[in-house]
Amino acid sequence: MTTTLTNTTWDELEVGMEAEVRRVCRADDFFVFANITGNMNPKHFPRFKEVEGAPLTEPVAPAMWVATLISSALGNKLPGPGTLYKSHCMNFYERAFAGDELIIKVKLVEKLEGKIARFSCRVDTVDGKKLADGSADVFAPTSKMDYNVDDIPGLIVQRHVHFDKLLAEAEPLPPMRTAVVAPETEDSLLGALLGYDHTLIEPILIGNAAKIRAAAEKIGRDISAFEIHDEPSNKLAAGLGVKFVNEGRAGALMKGNLHTDTLLSEVVKREGGLRIGRRLSHVFVMDVPGLTHLLLISDAAINIAPDLETKVDITQNAIDLAHTLGMSEPKVGILSAVETVNPRIPSTLDAAALSKMAERGQIKGALVDGPLAMDNAINIEAARTKGIRSLVAGQAEILIAPNMESANMLAKELTFIAHAEAGGIVIGAKCPVILTSRADDDKSRLVSCAVAALYAARKKLD
């Protein structure tokens, strides 16, 4: 729907004319204001505490941000497009907070020489709290003008509130004893220590002890209090980590500086491994700016070209993880290049079969639909345009890709182009397996540990 703004020219203006706009305060507005002005006052940001131990409070709207809302009434409503400021004077009384709905009113009180219009201005909350008042002098437009507001580009604030929530949920859990295999470089050791620093994991370091200590020295960390098992062979170190899980000495595995195949080959061994009768799969848990929910993507790391039977396990694994992250009935979109079944595109046949299997109870705990293309899986307008009627289309929370290549590309595109944060684990074994990458930032490493901790803790309650 196109929105066009029109103006009221100087000749059309009459004293007593009024205009009003409404605006809901959002924390994202305050982040945008901070970046524009350089005002980094922490009272305007979420999660600010007055003193350590005090409860969190809603962020306070910057007073000057409140004042700028007057310009929305003057520039959009009265006089409208073409208006330019001469002066603005405001007085401030009460404070607005994120979540408040504001009413912004302007009234023409005088027409001055030089085609200057003087307006009284006022900002209140919808419940009657007076926030600010004052006056503004503007140069009124002298000719008719209109403007299509759809021509203005939008903004997405790069925040990761969903990951913040996961970290907060994992914080009260006891640290999970985690066998960290071959943390023999600075980055691989840092990942484990970061989880330890945030009380998410209790690392058991397994690998070449000399290299582990050298890595610790390079990053300036004392690891003398940690349990260290000297095993220079990556394969044997991985086997030792699996053994610790089987013996109950560890509740998770974490990949250090070794190939994923080396670690997982020990996990999937028929004798002494961690198999539970289901195929292993990796699930990316992603916090994408602009999405109102977490997005899970599978499988981007293990199953290269999964057949239908493997896709059943991949889908069920992702659903199980979603349950432990608080999604009671996640919406699963089975992806393909198109949203219609086409015998020449095998992934559409698999998608249709998976949907029917979920309908028959062979895949449990979720709403499953496919085939869906990426656009109509996550965008409700795209789904409506294509005439797709589904409880999943346009609002998928889990995306199952046709193969590892497409899943990996999708996850990396979201990370490096859409500025998403990504954590993830391997599930389908007796314990979660944390796969970290050298490209992961601190938050991704932390969230992978948090997801593993939440998954392990909540599976115990099942």
pLDDT tens for the chain, 462 residues: list them: 457 888 999 999 999 999 999 999 888 888 888 888 888 888 887 755 454 555 546 788 999 999 999 999 999 999 999 999 999 999 999 999 888 999 999 999 999 999 999 999 999 999 999 999 999 999 999 999 887 877 777 776 666 778 888 988 998 999 999 999 999 999 899 989 999 999 999 999 999 999 999 999 999 999 999 999 999 999 999 999 999 999 999 999 999 999 999 999 999 998 899 988 889 999 999 999 888 899 999 999 999 999 999 999 999 999 999 999 999 999 999 999 999 999 999 999 999 999 999 999 999 999 999 999 999 999 988 888 888 888 999 999 999 999 999 999 999 999 999 888 899 999 999 999 998 876 777 788 889 999 999 999 887 766
Phi-psi region of 352 (alpha: psi -120 to 50; beta: other; left: phi over 0): alpha
- Residues contacting 296, CB < 8 A, separation 6+: 283, 284, 285, 286, 318, 321, 322, 330, 397, 398, 399
Per-residue burial over 292-324, b if 16 or more Cβ lie within 10 Å, else e, is eebbbbbbbbbbeebeeebbbbbbbbbbbbbbb
Q: Hey, where are the domains in the chain?
A: 4-151, 161-276, 279-428
Q: Is CATH 3.20.20.80 correct for 161-276?
A: no
Tell whether the torsion through CA atoms of 28, 30, 36 and 41 is positive or negative. negative
Strands 331-335 and 433-434: unpaired
Question: What pLDDT does residue 51 have?
Answer: 46
Question: What pLDDT does residue 136 have?
Answer: 96
Question: What pLDDT does residue 90 have?
Answer: 94
Bond prior to 299 in cis (omega within 30° of 0): yes
**pTM, two decimal places:** 0.77
Question: What pLDDT does residue 147 have?
Answer: 79
* CATH of span 279-428: 3.40.718.10
Decide: helix, strand or coil at residue 424. strand
Decide: helix, strand or coil at residue 19. strand
In whole angstroms, give the CA distance from residue 354 to residue 342.
Answer: 15
Q: Is 224 exposed, middle or buried (0-12, 13-18, 19+ CB in 10 A)?
A: exposed
Is 279-428 the same fold as 161-276?
Answer: no
* CATH of span 4-151: 3.10.129.10
